[in-house]
Amino acid sequence: MVTDARSVLQRCDELARCSEEAGRLTRRFGTPALAQARDLVAGWMREAGLHPRVDAVGNLLGARGDGPRLLLGSHLDTVIDAGRYDGPLGVLCAIAVAERLRDRPLEVAGFADEEGVRFGTAYLGSALLAGRFDPAWLDRTDADGVPLRSLVGDIAVPPRADLIGYAEVHIEQGPVLEALDRPVGVVTAIAGQTRARVTFTGRAAHAGTTPMDLRSDALVAAAAWVLEVHALARATPGLVATVGELRVEPGAGNVVPGRVVASLDVRHAEDAVREHAVEQLLAAVEGEVLQANGAVACDDSGFPADLPRLASGAGHDAVMLSAVCPVSMLFVRSPGGISHHPDEAVREADVAVALDTLTAFVEARC
Amino acid sequence: MVTDARSVLQRCDELARCSEEAGRLTRRFGTPALAQARDLVAGWMREAGLHPRVDAVGNLLGARGDGPRLLLGSHLDTVIDAGRYDGPLGVLCAIAVAERLRDRPLEVAGFADEEGVRFGTAYLGSALLAGRFDPAWLDRTDADGVPLRSLVGDIAVPPRADLIGYAEVHIEQGPVLEALDRPVGVVTAIAGQTRARVTFTGRAAHAGTTPMDLRSDALVAAAAWVLEVHALARATPGLVATVGELRVEPGAGNVVPGRVVASLDVRHAEDAVREHAVEQLLAAVEGEVLQANGAVACDDSGFPADLPRLASGAGHDAVMLSAVCPVSMLFVRSPGGISHHPDEAVREADVAVALDTLTAFVEARC
């Protein structure tokens, strides 16, 4: 019987041994390491009175009871050189809650792909349940040329119509709860995101022979814009805007930069705020929007009012599930805000609060 | 008899056919292409009444007369995918002037390495005449592992004590004369140069989950500094300061930059101005000076007072020769300021002015 935080964390440790690589945790979609993790978790599901099955894309789904039900869970795949909590913590908390409430009908999911590392498209797992698996994805190939098509079964399945809600525990992957000194927080929305590429064109020139007033320095223009991005985001509550990539051409110490290509990532829980910010930031530059996803509202009504509320800046399986049912998320404090890194951590006491909170949430719903 | 601009430019065309690569001009130190160019130029030296010889590092030196003399010339090596005037124009102008003034004792140099492309150290040729050839350079190897030592003879030669001056015609490689609408200009000094590396350390973080007020974004800090570099240089007459390289780590669109490494190149004709600027620009950052070279004053007394004066932001063989004699330089307008590129050009009428100016300079000196 695993129902306490300490045991959940021991299972996180055990699961972290299922890896594609010795010495570090990497568990991508469609790998033997993921199948091994699934077998381990399926055993734990059975112990908790759930009946595990694996669907066409490799999601592990453990259900009990008939009729409409609540889905709990998270994903079992990881990034490369990952921490052990991003995903698995939510799956193992869900199983522990299923164990605590053995008389309730519910279902636990361990999704096969949320990170999108192998095929460059995230949410392959939860997309199937949501009826949002795009058949065009089947033609994608991984770095070794393996097509996605060769790894999955019949993806022509209807969206799930039997879910009354989806609830997910996940590490925050950010510093907000730590700054608030709170163990858990309720997600109000998953932020919408715009990704863009911005190009600054100047004139490459000799750094010694070209006087300042005869230069057109692409990096100087880009630098002014980077500061503008930062200032706008700081001045707009809830907005995050990031220039994470910046490539200087030709990129030699003695040549005035002729061209700079920069990335822009803008996120906000309200689409109108994000869209207005993107418009402002691209108004005076040569920009190209690569991707724009709307925000997803979360149902926070099942959680106590005294828990802190926050938006999620990162995407989660709940984005997909929102197509078929209300989605709710509970964040667990991330010490140091560390994520996608072996140093990713959670505190046992915080996990205990998350378990109790999720238990109460489920008790009130089904 | 080649004494006019048109013929000099035809020789530039002919010389450009001596290349390591078909279809573009590349003529590095110690290559058969350079030896071929040297043979061609040696023939033209003989026609002009000079007696060519090749010294231990491969410089072509054509002299006539005894005793102290004026040295004219430039370099015969090129960068990769070069233009045809950077170097050769100065050598061929010198030979044309020698032809015009057949009764004067003088010497013409076609230096074997000014660009430093093959062994990463410039001025190998002129350093030998100046007594500044560092024997440590002999241990350098090129990209194929060929040691410099295998290509040169006895480098233990004393500095030249018989030179009363060195005068070099060179393309400007910048836009100043074009902006002034003048064919030629007299160099007052070759700017000193400081090269530095500056590191900005922030904290890498998730671009979605890290609120703006909890970030330490290394690129934002670097961007503010890039603008500071630009502003200081614009506010300081004659100063050029360039950030030509900037590397962002980890460099992903969805990660707040944790580290940025940037280059800094600062040049000025007065060392004190350059040193003060570097001090200001590195005062508040983590910087490391990689190289600092003092300015070299040029003797402009032999040129007409009505010619425009300018500093050279690029280095030239005159830097080395300044150790043994006064050095003088005459720049020829570079259309578009283009340099180190196949599109590098000069105008025939401008070369005609350069030839007449250099002829008068030599007549007055010897």
Contact B207 A251 (CB under 8 A): no
Contact A339 B206 (CB under 8 A): yes
Class of domain A5-191+296-365: alpha beta
Report helix, strand or coil for B97.
helix
For chain B, what are the domain ranges? 5-191+296-365, 193-293
Pick from A213, A240, A254: CB nearest B265: A254
Straight-line distance from the first to the last Cα atom of chain A, in angstroms, rounded to the nearest whole number: 22
Residue B366 has pLDDT above 80, yes or no: no
Q: What is this structure's pTM?
A: 0.85
CA A45/CA A67 separation, integer angstroms: 19
How far apart are the CA of A147 and the nearest CA of chain B, in angstroms? 25
Mean per-residue pLDDT over chain B, rounded? 96
Model pLDDT for residues B25-68, shown as the tens digit of each residue: 999 999 999 999 999 999 999 999 999 999 999 999 999 998 99
pLDDT confidence bin for A339, thresholds 50/70/90: confident
One fold for A5-191+296-365 and A193-293: no
Contact B337 A210 (CB under 8 A): yes
Contact A240 B265 (CB under 8 A): no
Class of domain B193-293: alpha beta
Model pLDDT for residues A205-214, shown as the tens digit of each residue: 899 999 999 9
Chain A CB contacts of B219 below 8 Å: 226, 243-244, 246
Helices A88-100/A32-47 angle, 10° precision:
20
Chain B CB contacts of A217 below 8 Å: 230, 242
Q: State which residue of chain B sits closest to A196, comparing Cα positions.
A: B253
Residues with Cβ < 8 Å from A268, sequence gap 6 or more?
A191, A192, A236, A238, A239, A240, A274, A277, A295, A311
pLDDT confidence bin for B339, thresholds 50/70/90: confident
Hunting for tokens 């925000």 — which residue is that?
A295
How far apart are the CA of B53 and the nearest CA of chain A, in angstroms? 33
**B54 phi and psi, to 5 degrees?**
-115, 130
CA A134/CA A120 separation, integer angstroms: 13
Contact B246 A243 (CB under 8 A): no
Contact A214 B179 (CB under 8 A): yes
Chain B CB contacts of A233 below 8 Å: 212
Average pLDDT over every residue of B130-146: 93
Chain B CB contacts of A312 below 8 Å: 208-209
Model pLDDT for residues A238-255, shown as the tens digit of each residue: 999 999 999 999 998 989
CB atoms within 10 A of CB A179: 13
Tell me, what's the pLDDT at A291?
A: 86
Q: What angle do CA B188, B58, B157 make, to 5 degrees?
A: 80
Q: In this structure, what token pair is assigned to residue A49?
A: 């009175």
Pick from B174, B207, B230: CB nearest A220: B230
Chain B CB contacts of A314 below 8 Å: 206, 208-209
pLDDT confidence bin for B232, thresholds 50/70/90: very high
- What is the percent of chain A with per-residue pLDDT over 70, rounded to a whole number? 100
Tell me, what's the pLDDT at A93?
A: 98
